[in-house]
Amino acid sequence: MYEAAIGLEVHLHLKTRTKAFCGCQADYFGAPPNTHTCPVCLGLPGSLPVPNKKAVEFGLRLALALGSRIPERLVFHRKNYFYPDLPKNYQISQYDLPLGQGGSLPLGERTVRIKRLHLEEDAGKSLHLEDRTLLDLNRAGSPLIELVTEPDLKSPEETRLFLQRIQALVQTLGISEASPEEGKMRADVNVSVRRAGEPLGTKVEIKNLNSFKSVQRALEYEIRRQTEILRRGERVKQATLGFEEGSGKTYPMRTKEEEADYRYFPEPDIPPVPISREWLEAIRQDLPELPWEKEGRYQALGIKAQDAEVLAYTPSLARFLDRALSLGQASPQALANWLLADVAGLLNDRGLTLEQTRLTPEGLARLVALFERGEITSRVAKELLPEVLEGKDPEALVRERGLRVVADEGALRAVVAEVIAAMPEAAESVRQGKLKALDALVGQVMRRTKGQAKPELVRRFLLEALGVG
């Protein structure tokens, strides 16, 4: 039996206002090329980098959330390599005193160990045309967190889940949009395969995977490939691979630089950044509730484990749910059901996100509460949902349209009598024991009461009126 050991290097763009070491706007997405640049991020001689305090703070938030060890001072290093979109010919990164070392992220029953996380700057972008290459340096110098895990992940699905968890965590912390589609979250993976119980095998790295799905597919392919090599009794060669989306296959990229090739040395232009315990404590105090803490709280409120997990790790839903819960109108599990089933279904049908609708936590809580108090039937509640999604007030809709449940027995019995009179053939069939005909009668009563009557009650009154049952 063979098993895989997977480790990740995740790059996360920090959503600071300015870049990592200069005052350029960091939000360059969609801006014309080379408009978000200055002498510092262009690497012009004589310019001096100044670390962005917010970027350091954002990194510390993540390090604290993951329980990493944090040094008393940050030291930046130069990582030297030549690439056309790296104008300084080195990248300001961190080496032996990173922002955080150790720590872990819970993943179901297991935890995935974090090796380290550090702060660095991104490179620019090369656009390769047929006869030339264009450079856009808007991205150069934007702040990145690189997060490296131990090879604790065991399958492509688990790796994808881990990435979703990291994404949810940094979004909850408010430090990164972590949107792979905008290049704000990228991952390199390393994977080795071994016979169960044996030491780790030779690892292969797959670079520049820009969606969670690509990560999963690349790993599936690579684990199959390595397993076949081992089965033939051959050895896996260490390599750096790319992944081709179309064929779903990995391909060799280049031989990997050894660490020595980068000639790391301390960045002479940036003195070490002290991290006082007071500063760290203030950041810790300011941390929001973390997803796994949320999950525990939701469960304690009586929300089913599976629902609690999905809600806690979907920051937009968790924010919405927390506000709806704070109103104290509807029960936690009912809100969870509505969010995960009815609302999610409707959003899916319409290709919208929660934020793109005018649904408010108040609107949903009031709708669910009307149903929970028995003032409207579930059918009416579901029918009203699309309008509540457009921002309409459920109570006003119920009032205007007279949709409140017909709780008045006398009124309901009167409608039942009318329907029996109007549908004599169906009524006769039911009297003769053909209960299938009852559905038509129930349907007619529901229509005449605009769905406001409880179907069980209608059934019972009909059977009573027809002398059956």
Can you give the binding site for Zn ion, defined by CB under 5 A? 22, 24, 38, 40-41
Closest by Cα among 274, 271, 252, 164 to 213? 164
Contact criterion met (CB below 8 Å) for 94 and 120? yes
Q: How far is the CB of 19 from Zn ion (least distance, A)?
A: 5
Whether the CB-CB separation of 68 and 101 falls below 8 Å is answered with: yes
Q: Which is nearer to Zn ion, 28 or 243 (CB)?
A: 28
Closest approach of Zn ion to the CB of residue 50, in Å: 11
C-alpha–C-alpha distance, residues 463 and 67, integer Å: 65
> What residues are paired with 143 via a beta bridge?
121
CA 92/CA 450 separation, integer angstroms:
68
Residue among 26 and 117 whose Cβ is closer to Zn ion: 26
- The smaller minimum CB distance to Zn ion, of residues 22 and 60, is found at 22
Nearer to Zn ion among residue 37 and residue 149 (C-beta): 37
Shortest Å distance, C-beta 158 to Zn ion: 39
- How far apart are the C-alpha atoms of 184 and 176, rounded to whole Å? 8
Pairing of the two strands 143-149 and 110-121? antiparallel
In the bound state with Zn ion, the residue whose beta carbon lies nearer, of 46 and 246, is 46
Distances (CA, A) of 120 to 50, 124, 326: 13, 13, 39
**21 versus 298: smaller Cβ distance to Zn ion:** 21
Q: How far is the CB of 40 from Zn ion (least distance, A)?
A: 5
- Phi then psi for 152, rounded to 5 degrees? -95, -10
- Strands in 41-158 per DSSP E: 73-74, 77-80, 90-93, 100-101, 104-107, 110-121, 125-128, 133-136, 143-149
Shortest Å distance, C-beta 25 to Zn ion: 9
Residue 389 Cα distances to 236, 343, 361, 399, 454, angstroms: 54, 8, 10, 18, 24
Residue type, 119: L
Backbone φ and ψ for 111, nearest 5 degrees, come out as -130, 145
Q: How far is the CB of 81 from Zn ion (least distance, A)?
A: 20
Q: State the Cα–Cα distance between residues 315 and 392, nearest whole angstrom.
A: 24
- Distance (Å, whole) CA 413 – CA 392: 33
| Shortest distance, position 137 Cβ to Zn ion, whole Å | 9
Locus of tokens 């404590």: 281
Nearer to Zn ion by C-beta: 40 or 340? 40
User: How near is the Cβ of 141 to Zn ion at its closest, in Å?
Assistant: 5
* Pairing status of strand 204-209 against strand 239-244: parallel
Nearer to Zn ion, 136 or 158 (CB): 136
Whose Cβ is closer to Zn ion: residue 11's or residue 19's? Answer: 19
Phi, psi of 239 (to 5 degrees): -160, 160
∠ CA 297-106-142, rounded to 5°:
105
What are the structure tokens assigned to 462, written together?
A: 């009909």
Q: For residue 410, which of 373, 465, 455 has the smallest C-alpha distance?
A: 465
Q: Based on CB atoms, which residue is closest to Zn ion, 270 or 403?
A: 270
Least distance (Å) between residue 87 CB and Zn ion: 11
Nearer to Zn ion, 41 or 218 (CB): 41
Nearer to Zn ion, 16 or 314 (CB): 16
**What's the token pair of residue 438?**
């009852």
- By three-state DSSP, how is residue 446 classified? helix
Q: How far is the CB of 146 from Zn ion (least distance, A)?
A: 20
346-360 CB burial, b ≥16 within 10 A, e <16: bbeeeeeebeebebb
Please state the closest distance from residue 41 (CB atom) to Zn ion, in A.
3
What's the closest the beta carbon of residue 92 comes to Zn ion, in angstroms?
12
